[in-house]
Amino acid sequence: MKDELLNKLNNKDAVIGIVGLGYVGLPLMLRYIEVGYQVLGFDIDPEKVDALNAGQSYIEHIASDTISYATQNGFSATTDFSQAAKVDALIICVPTPLNKYREPDLSFVTDTTDSLVPYLRKGQVFSLESTTYPGTTDEELAPRLEKNGLKVGEDLFLVYSPEREDPGNPDFVTRTIPKVCGGMTPACQEIGLALYGQVIDQVVPVSSTRAAEMTKLLENIHRAVNIGLVNEMKVVADKMGVDIHEVIRAAATKPFGFVPYYPGPGLGGHCIPIDPFYLTWKAREYGLHTRFIELAGEVNSSMPDFVIGKVAHALNQAKKSINGSRVLVLGIAYKKNVDDMRESPSVELMEKLQELGAEVQYSDPHIPHFPKMREHHFDLGSVEPSAQNLAAFDCVILATDHDRFDYDAIRAHARLIIDSRGKYLDPDAKITKA
């Protein structure tokens, strides 16, 4: 089985199945198509499947032309999971969020796996890319895959290879980002390296699926902890009347021993706000308390309230209250220059302001209409940041610093500006740093 599958992968005769056609799955699909594989995509959302089969993209930084090219060169999408029997590789790219208790929610991974198990056959490789805690692959997936008598490492090959994507960053693409891969057995590892070796410039083998799972968590916890540190420094600097952004710019001139991280209104994205909690949860099983990680999480989680406090102070200085004020949130994507709203702190700001009685609108050139989200509901469209519109709001909050905003115009026409991104360097009575 192993040799036959290796030959298919190396000769590009294998059919690749990608489950979850979002920010991770779509770029990976395009890369497999680019090098000559046939790809079958799976998703539970029929609207997405119909759009892709029509050659249309629903992610801003992925052009519809690339999707159209893919559909003409071996890609198709389906909601029918029974089609999994036709593919040689299944790559799982589904969400791993937290539940309301801030605990790991593996339901997307386990439900997807359970949906595929009846159609698995000998000679397939199953790769999980979703971020998760160490032990998920061998504790949760392996027993499920073996339910129908298939043996992992002999009949079926199981690997964990965490996704690494930076949406909207033109300096890195799927091919050039090194890919970590850990197999359940040596045979699984060999298959995993062949699966990714044809499409990724550098595949980094590790000794086990648990090592690969921990690698992904370390990468994101490293970032979360450092952002937590600089967010705490922001609060301290603010109390002392010091501009933290000026301090960071100065510190960054040191050519060694310092890496700049930047504060903001909170953490966003599909990884940084979530992944640390996967490790803290799993660590409790071993009687460990991850104090450093949890402290960073507390600091980062408090940032939206810090911004709200700055809004309240600025409005108070203008003899207004949040209750009844019109507030415009500039940027609702979690980072600049993308349309990705996953875990965006801007949404939390909007909800908190609304709860306090503000009339909230938003402006985001990348998101014309507030999308359907599992936990957040706003029936809003993006407001054009024209001079007239800006002047009509009691204050605007710069939450995401998109390059397409005209910052000079915002400064000229907004009554009050709450700058949570350090965009405005010079002092101005109408600007409050947050």
Percentage of the chain surpassing pLDDT 70?
A: 100
Distances (CA, A) of 308 to 4, 67, 139, 258, 303: 60, 41, 42, 30, 9
> Which of left, alpha, beta for 49 (phi over 0: left; psi -120 to 50: alpha)?
alpha
Q: Are both 298 and 155 inside the same structural domain?
A: no
- pLDDT, residue 101, reads 79
Mean pLDDT of the chain: 94
The catalytically annotated residue of 93, 181, 271, 395 is 271
State both tokens at 150. Answer: 């298939």
Q: Could you report the per-residue pLDDT of 380-427, keeping only the tens digit for each?
A: 999 999 999 999 999 999 999 999 999 999 999 999 999 999 999 888
Per-residue pLDDT, averaged over 268-281, amounts to 81
Closest C-alpha among 182, 90, 96 to residue 132:
96
- pLDDT, residue 99, reads 83
Q: How far apart are CA 171 and CA 195, in angstroms?
A: 24
CATH label of the domain that carries residue 43: 3.40.50.720
Does any domain span residue 228? Answer: no
Does any domain span residue 175? Answer: yes
Q: Are both 52 and 162 inside the same structural domain?
A: yes
Q: How sure is the predictor about 168, in pLDDT bands with cuts at 50, 70 and 90?
A: confident
Domain boundary among 204, 230, 258: 204
Q: How far apart are CA 234 and CA 247, in angstroms?
A: 10
Contact 87, 40 (CB under 8 A): yes
Q: Are both 416 and 281 inside the same structural domain?
A: yes
Q: Could you report the per-residue pLDDT of 99-153, keeping only the tens digit for each?
A: 877 889 999 999 999 999 999 999 999 999 999 999 999 999 999 999 999 999 9
Per-residue pLDDT, averaged over 209-237, amounts to 96
Does any domain span residue 212? Answer: no
pLDDT above 80 for 271:
no
Does any domain span residue 224? Answer: no
- pLDDT, residue 277, reads 86
- What sign does the dihedral 346-348-351-353 (CA atoms) show? negative
Active site (annotated) includes residue 271? yes
pLDDT above 80 for 246:
yes
Does any domain span residue 211? Answer: no
Q: Are both 155 and 292 inside the same structural domain?
A: no
Q: Could you report the per-residue pLDDT of 45-57, keeping only the tens digit for each?
A: 999 999 999 999 9
Does any domain span residue 350? Answer: yes
Residue 196: give the domain boundaries.
Answer: 2-204
Q: Are both 189 and 259 inside the same structural domain?
A: no
- pLDDT, residue 153, reads 96
How many domains does one find in the chain?
Answer: 2
pLDDT above 90 for 377:
no
Q: Could you report the per-residue pLDDT of 330-375, keeping only the tens digit for each?
A: 999 999 999 999 889 999 999 999 999 999 999 999 999 998 877 7
Does any domain span residue 221? Answer: no
Q: Are both 136 and 259 inside the same structural domain?
A: no
pLDDT above 80 for 273:
no
Q: Are both 254 and 396 inside the same structural domain?
A: yes
